[in-house]
Amino acid sequence: MTLSYTVKETTVTEEELVGHIVGSIKNIFSTMIFIDDIADDYPLEKPESHFTCSISGMVGLGGDVSGMVGIHIPEEFAKIATASMLGMEVSEIESDGDVNDAVGEITNMLAGEMKMLFTGKGLAACLSTPSIVAGKEYTVEVVSSGTAVVVPFTHAGHRFLATLQIEGGR
């Protein structure tokens, strides 16, 4: 079944959302993190909300488009991405704060890309500041009856998720 999101006479299809997420993640990782071989594994086989040894970045959407953009990434790969983004070795990362900041920035960049998709279709959209959840074991659940798109990605045996949850619409 194909999902679509319609608000203010504007429809965005699941294919558009997935395509924009995939293109944005690959572009962000290529240009900002210098990792070019990110593979997408859409569709997700089964829903995931429980994470172990991971970091989740989330940015809220508001305006005509209300919801949440998220990145859920294993801690080990988050450190690799942070080091690459900062031009250093993983062993040179001084604190978890650096990793959290990098994941927050990656999430913010993805949210900015999603905002551009929506505003390009004439919908008002604004972003919150990024929030980070990290830990050995946690669950992230967005309580919603809206549209959810989850795209799994892999790099060198590391798997991470990019998510978009949109409220309302029809």
| Domain residue spans of the chain | 4-166
Going by C-beta distance under 8 Å and a sequence separation of 6 or more, which residues neighbour residue 64? 7, 8, 118, 123, 124, 125
Report the Cα 158 to chain-centroid distance in Å: 15
* Percent over 90 (pLDDT), the chain: 75
pLDDT at res. 53: 95
Low-confidence ranges of the chain (pLDDT < 70): 1-3, 143-145, 168-170
Average pLDDT, the chain: 91
Which of these, 133, 121, 158, lies nearest to 12 by C-alpha position? 121
CATH annotation of 4-166? 3.40.1550.10
Tokens 């203010």, residue located: 8
Cβ contact 147:6 at 8 Å: no
Rounded to two decimals, the pTM is 0.92
